[in-house]
Amino acid sequence: MKLFISGEWVDSASRETFPVANPATGEVVDYAAKGARDDAKKAIDAAKDAFKKWSLTASAERARILYGLAEVVRESKEALGRLLTQEQGKPLRESILEIESFANTCDYYAGLATKLHGTSLVITPGKVHADIVKVPVGVVGAIIPWNFPISLLGWKLAPALAAGNTLVVKPSTNTPLTDLKMGELANKAGVPAGVVNIVSGPGSVVGSELLENPDVRKIAFTGETATGREIMRAASSQIKRITLELGGSDPMIVCDDAELDLAVEGALWGRFRNCGQSCTSVKRLFLFRKIAAEFLEKFLAGVREIRVGNGLEPGVMMGPLNNGAQRKIVEEMVQDAVEKGAQIMTGGDRPRGREFESGFFYMPTVLTHVDYSSRIVREECFGPALPVFTVDDLEEAIEMANDTVYGLGSSIWTKDIAKARMAAERLEAGTIWINSPPIARPEVPFGGFKQSGFGRELGLEGLEHYLETKSIHKDISGNQKLWKYPP
Ligand code: NAD
């Protein structure tokens, strides 16, 4: 697949490509153009040029186009979903839900496009007035990871376009294909040429150009905390606006008065959806001592029923990890925990059988007796392995939950809503779910405390990050009564 720049499919300047492999089979799905600095520059120039007109387009027109994009994407959800599963690995049903979530985000921000407004102040009646208006930031560089290539594109593209910005998108080299397709669909929906450009290629090349080119005014980044640090450093030289959505190590607390069956389902969903490769996956599970044995029994039964396989096969509940490097890290984390005394309750290995030989599969894994210094606790475990802890009370649970450098999400399960609300105040995380697995919704701001990033995506707050505030002072008195030189 070629690069999508200025409304056209173009080869990279070098004509180089790279293979995109199916993580379930190892087969090449397609080749993507390997963008270089010059390609990124060309896309930035196109976005800068398109900004002149797009930023002056009526908000109702931008809304109409975004609604149209949502529809075009929904019409293609089956084909897009298949492609996403082929390059990312997640089960087809999850891929289709992801495509739908992109469309839902477009709908939400289409609605907001016509509600942007500033304020007007009367400072001195009849003499000095001021208008405070919101204006788009300019060209936005959107850097996307491989775990949710489409929904996370939507989180950036939809508010950026609603606010009147233009974009250069850099997908992950593991999952560039579906993102590249979205450029074409955007144009089909009426997004003018140059407003959305997609350049696949390495972060160190295409990403660096986005960071260093002064015509890019904002970087919207989702990815690892370590990469986020580099982005922050690089963005500082031009004081670029940045939003960083980084890693997490989300705790899930199950109290002794929780609806256990519901909480078990929540933990299965929370840890094993997308093969555990979600920033808000449940990464540490805390069970009140009184219900720990019963919960664990039900949970392990559920985990053992998870059918692992190629995401395109019907009935498969969990696909492979997206890439070999990621699986290796998960294996090393499990190994490290075991060396420090952990017990593997289920999983802890690759599945056996010919159908698994060429993919990055790993069995859903549950560990108990995990030492808190283990890597699986201290770092982000981006895969299907879960350490489980027993706690005496809420005090202990909250203390352990907060004992991490991350602060993305947290969940608490209890029938006592007052207790849950109190815990929500004390949990150090950008999002708290009460009796719910981690589900993001377009209406609700999303982002992290501590080293999970800063800034917010989604919701009204998400839109703010794509707008500058411009203050316009107006002296309508027509004379110099209010000021004189020298003052
Ligand atoms: P990653 O940081 O390796 O890569 C993310 C993107 O950044 C890719 O497109 C990559 O090519 C690019 N990149 C890498 N180095 C770069 C550089 N020096 N300059 C510019 N761009 C660069 O992350 P990943 O492995 O693709 O994604 C998984 C991570 O994303 C996990 O840590 C996960 O928790 C996090 N994540 C966070 C959220 C959130 O909203 N907080 C959501 C999803 C994923």
Identify the sign of the CA torsion 367, 369, 372, 373.
negative
Mean of pLDDT over the chain: 97
Residue 435: the pLDDT is 98
Taking residues 89-117, what's their average pLDDT? 98
Residues 6+ away with beta carbon under 8 Å from 314: none
| Closest ligand 1 atom number to CA of residue 155 | 40
CA-nearest of 402, 408, 399 to 429 is 408
- Return the residue whose CA atom lies nearest to atom 13 of ligand 1: 203
CATH number where 69 lies:
3.40.605.10
Q: Are residues 341 and 381 in the same domain?
A: yes
The verdict on residue 441 lying in a domain is: no
Q: Residue 139 has which token pair? A: 């060209």
Q: Are residues 211 and 143 in the same domain?
A: yes
Q: How far apart are CA 228 and CA 299, in angstroms?
A: 34
The verdict on residue 266 lying in a domain is: yes
Q: Are residues 304 and 355 in the same domain?
A: yes
Q: Are residues 194 and 124 in the same domain?
A: yes
How many CB atoms within 10 Å of residue 471?
Answer: 11
Q: Are residues 232 and 380 in the same domain?
A: no
Q: Are residues 131 and 201 in the same domain?
A: yes
Digit-coded pLDDT (tens) for 235-292: 999 999 999 999 999 999 999 999 999 999 999 999 999 999 999 999 999 999 999 9
Identify the sign of the CA torsion 196, 201, 207, 208.
negative
Q: Find out whether the beta carbon of 143 lies less than 6 Å from any atom of ligand 1.
A: yes
Q: Residue 231 has which token pair? A: 């982005």
> To the nearest whole percent, how much of the chain has pLDDT over 70?
100
Residue 481: the pLDDT is 72
Residues 6+ away with beta carbon under 8 Å from 41: 209, 213
Q: How far apart are CA 54 and CA 76, in angstroms?
A: 26
Q: Are residues 128 and 258 in the same domain?
A: no
Q: How far apart are CA 77 and CA 17, in angstroms?
A: 26
Calculate how far, in angstroms, residue 222's C-alpha sits from the geometric centre of ligand 1: 5
State yes or no: pLDDT of 478 exceeds 90. no
Residues 6+ away with beta carbon under 8 Å from 229: none
Q: How far apart are CA 430 and CA 450, in angstroms?
A: 9
Digit-coded pLDDT (tens) for 290-342: 999 999 999 999 999 999 999 999 999 999 999 999 999 999 999 999 999 99
Buried b (16+ CB within 10 A) or exposed e, 277-314: bbbbbbbbbbbbeebbeebbebbbebbeebebbbbbee
State yes or no: pLDDT of 484 exceeds 90. no
pLDDT level of residue 379 (50, 70, 90 thresholds): very high
Calculate how far, in angstroms, residue 227's C-alpha sits from the geometric centre of ligand 1: 6
User: What's the total number of domains in the chain?
Assistant: 2
pTM here is: 0.97
Q: Are residues 157 and 49 in the same domain?
A: yes
Q: Find out whether the beta carbon of 146 lies less than 6 Å from any atom of ligand 1.
A: yes
The full 3-state SS of the chain, as one line of letters, equals: CCEEECCEEECCCCCCEEEEECCCCCCEEEEEECCCHHHHHHHHHHHHHHHHHHCCCCHHHHHHHHHHHHHHHHHCHHHHHHHHHHHHCCCHHHHHHHHHHHHHHHHHHHHHHCCCCCEEEEEECCCEEEEEEEEECCEEEEECCCCCCCHHHHHHHHHHHHCCCEEEEECCCCCCHHHHHHHHHHHHCCCCCCCEEECCCCHHHHHHHHHHCCCEEEEEEECCHHHHHHHHHHHHCCCCEEEEECCCCEEEEECCCCCHHHHHHHHHHHHHHHHHCCCCCEEEEEEEHHHHHHHHHHHHHHHHCCCECCCCCCCCCECCCCCHHHHHHHHHHHHHHHHCCCEEEECCCCCCCHHHCCCCCCCCEEEECCCCCCHHHHCCCCCCEEEEEEECCHHHHHHHHHCCCEECEEEEECCCHHHHHHHHHHCCCCEEEECCCCCCCCCCCECCEECCEECCECHHHHHHCCEEEEEEEEECCCCCCCCCCCC
Q: Catalytic residue numbers?
A: 245, 279
Residues 6+ away with beta carbon under 8 Å from 357: none
- Return the residue whose CA atom lies nearest to atom 14 of ligand 1: 203
CATH number where 256 lies:
3.40.309.10
The verdict on residue 237 lying in a domain is: yes
CA-nearest of 163, 209, 167, 206 to 186 is 167
CA-nearest of 294, 391, 387 to 347 is 387
Taking residues 81-88, what's their average pLDDT? 98
Taking the C-alpha atoms of 432, 281, 154 and 202 in order, what is their torsion angle to the nearest 10 degrees? 130
Digit-coded pLDDT (tens) for 407-439: 999 999 999 999 999 999 999 999 999 999 999
The verdict on residue 347 lying in a domain is: yes
**CA distances (Å), 464 to each of 160, 163, 458, in order?**
10, 9, 10
Q: How far apart are CA 86 and CA 129, in angstroms?
A: 58
| Closest ligand 1 atom number to CA of residue 146 | 26
Q: Find out whether the beta carbon of 382 lies less than 6 Å from any atom of ligand 1.
A: yes
State yes or no: pLDDT of 395 exceeds 90. yes
Calculate how far, in angstroms, residue 143's C-alpha sits from the geometric centre of ligand 1: 7
Residue 485: the pLDDT is 87
Q: Are residues 241 and 254 in the same domain?
A: no
The verdict on residue 42 lying in a domain is: yes
The verdict on residue 199 lying in a domain is: yes
Q: How far apart are CA 404 and CA 425, in angstroms?
A: 17
pLDDT level of residue 483 (50, 70, 90 thresholds): confident
Taking residues 195-203, what's their average pLDDT? 98
The verdict on residue 484 lying in a domain is: no
Q: Are residues 300 and 364 in the same domain?
A: yes
Domain that holds residue 48: 3-246+452-472
| Closest ligand 1 atom number to CA of residue 148 | 43
Digit-coded pLDDT (tens) for 126-175: 999 999 999 999 999 999 999 999 999 999 999 999 999 999 999 999 99
How many CB atoms within 10 Å of residue 56?
Answer: 9
Residue 482: the pLDDT is 74
Q: How far apart are CA 274 and CA 174, in angstroms?
A: 15
Q: Find out whether the beta carbon of 212 lies less than 6 Å from any atom of ligand 1.
A: no
Digit-coded pLDDT (tens) for 205-243: 999 999 999 999 999 999 999 999 999 999 999 999 999
Q: Find out whether the beta carbon of 254 lies less than 6 Å from any atom of ligand 1.
A: no
Q: How far apart are CA 202 and CA 283, in angstroms?
A: 29
Q: How far apart are CA 430 and CA 408, in angstroms?
A: 5
The verdict on residue 305 lying in a domain is: yes
Q: Are residues 239 and 102 in the same domain?
A: yes
Q: Are residues 9 and 74 in the same domain?
A: yes
